[in-house]
């Protein structure tokens, strides 16, 4: 998450690009806030990471064949894809308000990078495909013992509501139409033998496994950043921590949309 008031990372919701990122990015944010003190940082346990497939890995989830909602326009080049993709997303969700959260520059590249990073302990906030959540991050307590104030959950309300109104079938059709460009960017990212849809499905599974943490959620600020006081919780993938910080009601809506999306992008038999 990105905290605009402090200038540090706080609540940014990176996940609205197409299918996956529309859900994932719309959820997230980086969890950092400035402080004047900088005591020694406590090391955290290693976080689980979804590994990229080895060079000879079979494709597990080939993209399904285009359905009746699929776009019929020619595919643009990657350099010319931003406006075309933004228009397609807006057309798939005309009444949801989704497009107000989309950053239309380098959209496919930012979606791919964000999706790839969500299972990792940290994710680059400057690569998100969506705008920051409004408002200021609020905690109860001080730097030694604090908890997330429930007011923060309300900050995600408008964005989550836009996501709830989005027709995932139409959005998935946009994703499938533009899939060759997602695949190209993923390979250029350093996975020449990788398959982006497989990575997307694995990342969705990581997000769906995010636990529901009962309130109050305790924080500490050992250096310049607030982190979860529980080392095991702090070591979780960044995407799971985003869902936890949204609050259980918002996370439940996002998970429901992710479940819809997973079914739509895996509706094809594995290739062996």
DSSP 94-112: TTT-GGGGB--SSHHHHHH
DSSP, collapsed to helix, strand or coil, labels residue 218 as strand
Token pair of 95, please?
């009444």
pLDDT at position 204: 95
Token pair of 62, please?
């080939």
The structure tokens 């009746």 sit at 68
CA–CA gap between residue 154 and residue 134 (Å, rounded): 10
Cα dihedral: 250, 254, 256, 261 (round 10): 170
The structure tokens 């326009």 sit at 73
Are 13 and 101 within 8 A, CB to CB? Answer: yes
Q: What is the pLDDT along the chain (272 residues), one digit of tens a residue?
A: 333 333 233 333 333 334 435 454 434 443 333 333 333 333 334 434 445 555 557 899 999 876 555 556 789 999 999 999 888 888 877 777 777 777 778 889 989 988 998 998 776 555 555 556 667 778 888 777 899 988 888 888 888 888 888 889 988 999 999 999 999 999 999 999 999 999 999 999 999 999 999 989 999 888 777 889 999 999 999 899 989 988 999 999 999 999 999 999 998 766 55
pLDDT at position 145: 81
pLDDT at position 22: 40
């Amino acid at each position: 998450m990105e905290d605009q008031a402090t200038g540090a990372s706080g609540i940014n919701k990176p996940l609205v690009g197409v299918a996956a990122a529309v859900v994932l990015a719309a959820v997230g944010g980086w969890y950092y806030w400035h402080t004047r003190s900088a005591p020694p940082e406590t090391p955290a346990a290693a976080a689980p990471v979804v590994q990229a497939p080895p060079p000879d890995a079979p494709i597990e989830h080939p993209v399904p064949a285009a359905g009746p909602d699929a776009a019929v326009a020619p595919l643009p080049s990657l350099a010319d894809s931003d406006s075309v993709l933004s228009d397609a997303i807006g057309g798939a969700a005309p009444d949801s308000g989704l497009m107000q959260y989309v950053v239309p520059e380098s959209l496919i590249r930012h979606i791919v990078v964000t999706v790839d990073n969500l299972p990792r302990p940290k994710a680059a906030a400057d690569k998100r495909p969506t705008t920051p959540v409004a408002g200021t991050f609020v905690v109860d307590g001080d730097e030694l013992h604090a908890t997330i104030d429930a007011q923060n959950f309300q900050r995600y309300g408008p964005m989550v509501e836009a996501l709830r109104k989005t027709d995932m079938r139409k959005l998935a059709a946009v994703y499938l139409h533009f899939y060759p460009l997602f695949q190209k960017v993923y390979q250029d990212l350093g996975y020449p033998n990788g398959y982006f849809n497989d990575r997307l499905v694995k990342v969705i599974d990581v997000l769906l496994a995010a636990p529901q943490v009962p309130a109050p959620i305790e924080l500490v600020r050992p250096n310049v950043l607030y982190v979860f006081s529980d080392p095991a919780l702090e070591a979780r993938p960044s995407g799971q921590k985003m869902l936890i910080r949204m609050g259980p009601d918002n996370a439940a809506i996002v998970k429901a949309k992710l479940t819809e999306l997973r079914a739509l992008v895996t509706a094809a038999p594995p290739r062996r």
